[in-house]
Amino acid sequence: MAKTVNAPRGMRDFLPQDKARREHALSVIRGVYRAHGFDEIEAPMLEDYSRLHAGLGGDNEKLSFSVLKRGLTADDFHAAADEGVERIADLGLRFDLTVPLTRFYATNRAQLPPVFRSIQIAPVWRAERPQKGRYRQFVQADIDIIGEPGLMAEIELLTASSQAFAELGLTDVTIRVNDRRVLFGLLAHCGFEAEVHDRALITIDKLDKIGASGVVEELEELDATAAARMGEVLEAVAPKIAGEGIALTREEIVAALPEGLGGEGVTNLVDLGEALEHAIPSNVTLRFDPTLVRGMGYYTGTIFEVAHPASGSSVGGGGRYDGMVGRFLGQDVPAVGFSIGFERVVDLIELPENDGPASIALVYDTDVPKAQLMSIKRELVAAGHRVRLEKRVKNMKAMLDRIAGEGFSEFANVRPDTLSASDLDVRSQGDR
């Protein structure tokens, strides 16, 4: 029986057309982000095990792939059952690009500008349960601003990312926005003690999976009275979030929250909405969502998540994580980031038709001298064409159909008397 030759579960091969669409999307994203003043960096795919498990990655830490130490013995593996994986692993594959970025910044800070705008586009790995839209190896496309404490950082991220969605041809994009300080204010308003706030947010983050009743039921384990009040808040805000949602304006934000709930988080959101009112393309809509949590434990202020009607999951998100870089430097450094869900976005776009020099297939006879054939090809490549050599076959229709599907819109026959590119009779696939 033949052995299976599939890629490992949760990982994929990409055929040429798939790869072309991915590279097109990456090129668009890179181009937009560079135009907005961001610089691309690269960090190792491996980080120290202790850094990847510092309690800042949320549930993703449980999904990280660990790398075993060298020279382990059977006793080491037995001891790991009691002492934990760190006994036998010292490195791990990155599960996101934010943790490596903070380490990168701490390492290279002296060589970076006071406000550092970075682009990272690279694969990450998580031991997910593979399913549609969820893989064990996938690409993230991140921009981050480190060193800017004010709202300008969020404004830059959202304007750049909105333009990237527009350049990719995506319409009806919605960016849901909240602030962690608003969430903590809601919890305090309902009566939850500060020491259970983080646990309460983990439960509220499940709202789209278990519904309001499920959230209230879990919150009752922390405080039954406070859980009932939170249930009232969720019931009141649900119809406001549905439909067109809550505009990022002072009037609608205040109306969506319990009376008297304000503070720095609300002010931050109002200022953000005012700054972005005319700064983002028409394909993107900003909406306030007081139930948006974002699962990562390192967020400290503004948070955002991107939705598209053709995707059942978010297609991007991010937020402010001011306390994270300080873990490595011993002093706080403000930071905020935005990540495009590349794998989900690339499934929503089409590869545009090539509007530059045509892709030409040279169909040659076996008696054409090789040097002559390569000379013609060299001329066409120098003129900017993409050129493929195809040996003439009996079933020309099948061959031309195949190369048309591979992006070669034109073809030309090369015979012994074809001496240069100017002698070619280049024909469109539609004219054959």
Average pLDDT, the chain: 89
Please give the single-letter amino acid code of residue 369: P
pLDDT digits (tens, 9 = 90+) for 258-309: 988 878 999 999 999 999 988 999 889 999 999 999 876 678 899 999 999 9
- Give the residue-averaged pLDDT of 217-226: 92
pLDDT digits (tens, 9 = 90+) for 24-41: 999 999 999 999 999 999
Picking from 364, 368, 207, the residue whose alpha carbon sits closest to that of residue 290 is 207
- pLDDT at position 8 is 87
* Structure tokens given for 122: 């690279």
- pLDDT at position 243 is 78
125 neighbors 137 (Cβ within 8 angstroms): yes
- pLDDT at position 292 is 93
pLDDT at 351 over 80: no
- pLDDT at position 178 is 95
* CATH 3.30.930.10 domain extents, the chain: 24-45+94-170+310-349, 173-307
pLDDT at 374 over 60: yes
CATH architecture of 24-45+94-170+310-349: 2-Layer Sandwich (3.30)
pLDDT digits (tens, 9 = 90+) for 89-132: 889 999 999 889 999 999 999 999 999 999 999 999 998 887 77
pLDDT at 2 over 60: no
Mapped onto helix, strand or coil, the DSSP state of residue 359 is strand
d(CA 94, CA 100): 7
pLDDT digits (tens, 9 = 90+) for 155-166: 999 999 999 999
Whether pTM > 0.85 for this model: the answer is: yes
- pLDDT at position 266 is 93
Q: Can you identify the CATH homologous superfamily of domain 173-307?
A: Bira Bifunctional Protein; Domain 2 (3.30.930.10)
pLDDT band at residue 55, thresholds of 50, 70 and 90?
confident
Please give the single-letter amino acid code of residue 311: S
